[in-house]
């Protein structure tokens, strides 16, 4: 059965969360981004930042620069809209932050046009030191999260879907 990559992301976060270096930050969308699954397992390493994505990115960068692997998640359009903060705090510092942008592209259904991230890939690719990964399905998402957890150093943007693929 098809599964949205955001759902796979939530499942994969729980698995990598067994390593205490991993922390998850969320922009008041934990039910949509599936980060609530991590919160249920590891509540002491989950930070709800509210509707304040620039602040979330800054906190994630600070955690990463002090030795953590920070996963900051919000809708892709909200992350792309914080490009200056990502560039300065994450990109230039080569901070070990994983930005997980969900609801990417035009296939987001009821969330509407204002939530469509269309420029996010171009924006993230323009940043220094930023890896961009868009898995196509459940298996690739699980593997991408595993790679970002254990095989990649530095900033990364993980682009995820709302719709089941």
- Rounded to the nearest 5 degrees, what angle is found at the Cα of 82, between the Cα atoms of 68 and 87? 60
Q: Is residue 47 classed as helix, strand or coil in its secondary structure?
A: strand
Alpha-carbon torsion (102, 105, 110, 112), positive or negative: positive
**CA 50 to CA 35: how far, in whole Å?**
13
Helix, strand, or coil (residue 135): coil
E strand or H helix that includes residue 145: helix 138-150
**Catalytic annotation, residues:** 53
Distances (CA, A) of 77 to 27, 74, 113, 140: 12, 8, 10, 22
CB atoms within 10 A of CB 137: 15
């Amino acid at each position: 059965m098809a599964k949205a990559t955001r759902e796979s992301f939530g499942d994969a976060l729980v698995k990598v969360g067994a390593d205490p270096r991993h922390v998850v930050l969320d922009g008041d969308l934990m039910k949509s981004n599936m980060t609530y699954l991590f919160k249920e397992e590891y509540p002491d390493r989950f930070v709800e930042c509210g509707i304040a994505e620039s602040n979330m990115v800054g906190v994630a960068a600070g955690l990463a620069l002090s030795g953590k692997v920070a996963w900051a998640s919000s809708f892709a359009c909200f992350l792309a809209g914080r490009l200056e903060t990502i560039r300065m705090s994450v990109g230039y510092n080569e901070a070990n932050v994983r930005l997980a942008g969900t609801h990417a592209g035009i296939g987001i259904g009821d969330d509407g046009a204002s939530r469509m991230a269309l420029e996010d890939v171009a924006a993230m690719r323009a940043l220094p030191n930023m890896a961009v990964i868009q898995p196509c399905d459940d298996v690739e998402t699980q593997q991408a999260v595993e790679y970002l957890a254990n095989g990649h150093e530095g900033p990364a943007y993980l682009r995820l879907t709302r719709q089941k693929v």
